[in-house]
Amino acid sequence: MKTTTPTVYIIDDDHAIRDSLALMIAQENIPVMAFESAEAFLAVCPQECSGCAIIDYRMPDMDGLQLQEELAKRNISLPIIFLTGHGNIPTSVKAIKAGAIDFLTKPVRREKLINVVTTAMMESQKTLAESASCKEAEKCIASLTEREYDVMLLAIQGHHNKDIARKLGISHRTVEIHKSNIMHKTGANHVLDLARIAHKSGLKE
């Protein structure tokens, strides 16, 4: 499965439920794929898949919570909606705490299902956008030379050019040149913007 198109993935061992859910979702013009087991889904699910997953809580072999845990281990950020005919408060709480968007009990009303799916799809897009932004920030910071990186660290800590020059043993003019290069490479408009990019890249001061 090599698609990055936002898709609803249905994982349920009951073919009648799979068909019913897939039909409701497809009628909303939302791409949908159905799988009879967690293993079948994992066999083809790429790390960069987007959209959401509707997962039956009780399935043979690997159940819904185990699938949720496996997706987390693989760093697959796919919003999860649990759907089951055997829901109870403790399992619902456990699923939600582990990051599930919702926990629905069969039979679910069409309106409720579509509303939850829409919310999950929007959450997926936000997560992907944030991930892309962080990767771009990492790339920008990685492009800095060692000296530029040192200057950046001091700049976002609030040090003025004269202080940076003294601390690094370089001229005031050299600091200005380094800062100009840093701003150009990162696309930052000012020091606060640079700090935001640095932190988004994963920098821990």
Distance separating alpha carbons of residues 95 and 85, to the nearest angstrom: 15
Domain 143-200 fold is Arc Repressor Mutant, subunit A (1.10.10)
Round to whole Å and give the CA distance between 61 and 55: 14
CATH 3.40.630.40 fits 7-134, yes or no: no
- Cα separation, 42 vs 38, in Å, equals 6
Q: Per-residue confidence at 150, pLDDT binned at 50, 70, 90? A: very high
Q: What are the backbone dihedrals phi and psi of residue 61, each rounded to the nearest 5 degrees, phi first?
A: 65, -100
Reduced to 3 states (helix: H, G, I; strand: E, B; else coil), residue 136 is helix
Residue 126: predicted pLDDT: 87
Domain with CATH 3.40.50.2300 in the chain: 7-134
Torsion of CA 66, 35, 26, 29, to 10 degrees: 70
With bands split at pLDDT 50, 70 and 90, how would you rate the model's confidence at 164? very high
- The model's pTM is 0.70
Q: What is the pLDDT of residue 103?
A: 83
pLDDT digits (tens, 9 = 90+) for 123-144: 888 888 888 888 899 999 999 9
The answer to whether residue 187 scores a pLDDT higher than 90 is yes
Range list for CATH 1.10.10.10 in the chain: 143-200
Per the document, the length of the chain is: 205
Place of tokens 């701003």: 183
Q: Which residues pair with 83 in a beta bridge?
A: 56, 104
Task: Decide if pLDDT at 4 tops 70.
Answer: no
